[in-house]
Amino acid sequence: MSSGANMHITIRLQFAKNVVSFSDIATAIGQAGGDIVGIDVISSSKTHTVRDITVSVLDSKHADVVVDTLRKTAGVKVIHVSDRTFLMHIGGKIEVKSKIPIKTRDDLARVYTPGVARICTAIAEDPTKAYSLTIKRNTVAVISDGTAVLGLGDIGPYAAMPVMEGKAMLFKQLAGVDAFPICLDTKDTDEIVQIVKAIAPAFGGINLEDIAAPRCFEIEERLKQELDIPVFHDDQHGTAVVLLAGLLNALKIVDKKIEDIKVVLTGIGAAGIACTKILLAAGVKNIIGVDRQGAIHRGVQYDNPYWNEYANMTNPENISGTLSDVIAGADVFIGVSAPGILTVEDVKKMAKDPIVFAMANPVPEIDPEVAEPYVRVMATGRSDYPNQINNVLCFPGIFRGALDCRAIEINEEMKLAAAEAIASVVTEEELSETYIIPSVFNNKVAERVREAVMKAAYKTGVARKDDMMFR
């Protein structure tokens, strides 16, 4: 199985016309396992041609194989090789732009001194005016310490920046939110909380990202208590919201009620605990969580305090055992854990029309192609299979809604509303085993989520703004 989207490299090469033809070059690339996706002529003379050839490869090692093959081809000179993904990141991916051109002295006096002093005074007299007179009403800080980045782990704040920049791009493109990547060079919980509190006046919301468990729980909880703006750990709640959206639609296909299903969930970390909580809030009554020590159950004092809390809110029959033991009769498997831990034999033990959400990345808990004959609905975290569970479906719209109604928090009702809104984008006519969740590029999603989140915020009394339509 490949690890997801392939790499594209661009190879600039010169070849002698009387020694080698382009068809020979194309054949060499194909024999090395590369796929040509683009060809550009840079220059041509009577004797030589220089071309840029863009090739799809599996990974960096495969790229080396393709390039080495070309270097060994008679009449071919490889001038240089560029990775298109690296090129996209040169100089960073985002910038700050002015909304108002400064062309005259009068413009300068209004946007800066002396005119800006009147604006400062107005905000000093009424701090709520910061929402109307500054960028606060449209800004989110994307905060990370770089300790749990994608599947890379603790790579530090510098290496985390490209991910946070990408997140900021998605905020802007999908929901018009101005997000700022802020990577902190500290792993100290108190210090992170203090820093975020100190910079909070500039922002309408805080998105916590890629902070390792269990510190992420305390950081989020303390910030929620001490700030009057929404704080949202996307690795927990974004995953949970989109998971629930997919499950709501999957249950329609198998004609089961959410309160009647048995769910087995592997990976009791940040995402796993958040997924469990939203499922319980949505009406699931029987969830069994499984981690390295087997099924989490009462009667055991776990070293992880969050597991003790987890045991008290799940596993109503207090079942113990391995994943293979507890999965018998389960209607739904949810994996936010590790590759390959779910076997075909496990799936065969599940109830009729099993639903499998294998969301470990880049390699899921079970290969979708292996599982396909035995499951009714399959979802993963990958873009190269149907039903991708992707946080991008959640965070732009949920923050857009929270900002627009000036919510003081993103509560459970708002998350449930977001999940239902995402699910609703897939119509009854469209709904099928391979289409339970909309595409991340579906332009209806963010607006549908925004509207639902705002309604829930007003209903639960956490909105500070009256007009739902105004941004």
Which residue has tokens 């627009």? 404
Question: What pLDDT shows up at residue 470?
Answer: 47
Average pLDDT, the chain: 95
Q: Which of 150, 358, 332 is nearest to 235 (CA)?
A: 150
- 291 carries a ligand binding annotation: no
> 178 labelled as ligand-binding?
no
Please report the pLDDT score of residue 84 as a whole number.
Answer: 85
pLDDT band per the 50, 70, 90 thresholds, residue 2: very low
Above 60 in pLDDT, residue 214? yes
Distance of CA 113 to the CA centre of its chain: 41
Name 225's Cβ contacts closer than 8 Å, sequence gap at least 6. Answer: none
| pLDDT tier, 467 (very low <50, low <70, confident <90, very high otherwise) | low
Domains of the chain and CATH, by start: 7-89 (3.30.70.600), 105-229 (3.40.50.10380), 240-471 (3.40.50.720)
pLDDT at 150 over 90: no
Residue 138 annotated as part of some ligand binding site = no
Q: Is 59 marked as a binding-site residue?
A: no
pLDDT for the residue numbered 362: 84
pLDDT digit string (tens) for 98-135? 999 999 999 999 999 999 999 999 999 999 999 999 99
For residue 35, pLDDT beyond 50: yes
The burial of 198, by beta-carbon neighbours within 10 Å (0-12 exposed, 13-18 middle, 19 or more buried), is given as exposed
Instruction: Flag whether 209 is marked binding.
Output: yes
Residue 17 appears among annotated catalytic residues: no
Residues 6+ apart with CB under 8 A from 56: 6, 7, 8, 34, 35, 36, 37
Residues in the chain: 471
Token pair recorded at residue 60:
């960096």
The one-letter amino acid code at 259 reads E
- Identified catalytic residue from 61, 72, 112, 310: 112
Q: What is the pLDDT of residue 49?
A: 93
pLDDT tens by residue, 399-443: 999 999 999 999 999 999 999 999 999 999 999 999 999 999 999
Q: What pLDDT score does 466 carry?
A: 67
- State yes or no: is 310 an active-site residue: no
Of the pLDDT bands very low, low, confident and very high (cuts 50, 70, 90), residue 468 is low
Q: How far is CA 32 from CA 74, 328, 369, 450, in A?
A: 16, 45, 25, 48
Catalytic hit among 136, 167, 262, 455 = 167
The pLDDT, as a whole number, for residue 3 is: 41
3-state secondary structure of 326: helix
In tens, the pLDDT along 178-212 reads 999 999 999 999 999 999 999 999 999 999 999 99
pLDDT at 311 over 60: yes
What CA–CA distance (Å, rounded) separates 347 from 330? Answer: 9
Please report where in the chains the tokens 């209903």 appear, as a residue.
459
